[in-house]
Amino acid sequence: MCPAPVEQDCQRGFIVPIGGGEDQLRDREILSRYLEMCGGSNAHIVVIPTASELDDTGARYQDLFRELGAGEVGILHCDNRKECNSQDFVDLLDRADGIFMTGGNQLRLSTTLGGTRVAQQIRRRNAAGMHVAGTSAGAAFVPEHMIAGGHEGSTPSPDMVTLAPGLGLTNRLIIDQHFRERERLGRLLTALAFNPFAIGIGLDEDTAAFIGPDDVMEVAGSGGITVIDPSELEFSSMDSARRDQPVSLIGIRMHILVAGGTYDLATRKARP
């Protein structure tokens, strides 16, 4: 699945995956920066709480963005695929400056939104300049290949990760979240062993990747981002390893970036 094409004289909007646990009490750096990007006091933000099973998740983020000064904040209650194909929901997205997908279970996003008119409209509007952010499960859902689940640990193994189709705003990345806190290096490496053309992005909590239309990613927040580049992979034992065996990967490149660091997804160059 390729991202929606960018029309002439348009510029793709930012994609902002967040590792979960973003600061909601003090300076709220990530959410404030995202809101300012969307237009600040003139911004129309639409919150999509589909991933969450909690009834108040959408209202909580609605209140947060209002406290930060957003002009208008709506909630898109996409609870089933029929609703995700309604014209009213598509029209609401057409007026938005930014979409924010909350945390929860990313499979609820992929099975409810995937392939619907709402998902297609998010892709089209991002290609036309609308900014899309997602935290935790919402971050995992952003790329074409989504990590749906897996096990903790640092050594890759064939049964360590479950993959599913994501939203497809980018086909360059595979994203994992709560990365350092939940020891998810092994499952991201496993996902990349299955898909060595992609770049792995492991987001710590309260940390975001602001990915611009020029495909340059800038780190923001209090944690780090682990970037794994398998483009020079020389050897992988994934094809012969049994389900519970460790996998050998030789030639992987890895970077750790903190606030202000950048990574060019096209040239695969990191800068502090």
Answer for the pair 247, 158: CB distance below 8 angstroms, yes or no: yes
pLDDT of residue 202: 98
| Tens-place pLDDT, residues 209-267 | 999 999 999 999 999 999 999 999 999 999 999 988 999 999 999 999 999 999 999 99
Instruction: Extract the tokens encoding 92.
Output: 């609401």
- Cα-flanking dihedrals φ and ψ of residue 136, to 5°? 55, -115
176 pLDDT band (50/70/90 cuts)?
very high
219 Cβ partners below 8 Å, 6+ apart? Answer: 207, 208, 209, 210, 225, 257, 258, 259, 260, 261, 262
Evaluate the CA torsion angle 96, 93, 77, 141 in order and state its sign.
Answer: negative
pLDDT of residue 9: 78
- Cα-flanking dihedrals φ and ψ of residue 112, to 5°? -95, -45
**Average of pLDDT values for 162-183?**
97
**Average of pLDDT values for 119-129?**
97
Cβ burial, residue 262 (10 Å; 0-12/13-18/19+): middle
Answer for the pair 158, 148: CB distance below 8 angstroms, yes or no: no
Question: pTM of the predicted model, to two decimals?
Answer: 0.96
**What is the rounded CA–CA span in Å between residue 41 and residue 35?**
8
Res. 154: pLDDT tops 70: yes
| Active-site residue flag, 32 | no
Please measure the distance between the N-terminal and C-terminal CA atoms of the chain and give it in whole angstroms: 32
6 pLDDT band (50/70/90 cuts)?
confident
Answer for the pair 51, 105: CB distance below 8 angstroms, yes or no: yes
| Active-site residue flag, 41 | no
**Average of pLDDT values for 67-87?**
95
**What is the rounded CA–CA span in Å between residue 218 and residue 260?**
6
Instruction: Extract the tokens encoding 99.
Output: 């979409």
Of the candidates 144, 205, 218, 236, the residue annotated as catalytic is: 205
What secondary structure does DSSP assign to 205-227, as a single string?
Answer: TTEEEEE-TTSEEEEEESS-EEE
pLDDT of residue 249: 98
| Active-site residue flag, 152 | no
- Residue whose token pair is 């709506």: 74
The domains found in the chain, sorted by start residue, are 15-266 (3.40.50.880)
Q: Specify the amino acid at residue 114.
A: G
**Average of pLDDT values for 116-136?**
97
**What is the rounded CA–CA span in Å between residue 215 and residue 217?**
6
What is the SS3 assignment for 91? helix
Res. 1: pLDDT tops 90: no
**Average of pLDDT values for 35-42?**
98
**Average of pLDDT values for 96-110?**
97
Answer for the pair 25, 222: CB distance below 8 angstroms, yes or no: no
Res. 104: pLDDT tops 90: yes
**Average of pLDDT values for 89-107?**
96
What is the SS3 assignment for 131? strand
**What is the rounded CA–CA span in Å between residue 24 and residue 268?**
32
Of the candidates 136, 144, 145, 236, the residue annotated as catalytic is: 136
Of the candidates 22, 157, 178, 218, the residue annotated as catalytic is: 178
181 Cβ partners below 8 Å, 6+ apart? Answer: 21, 204, 205
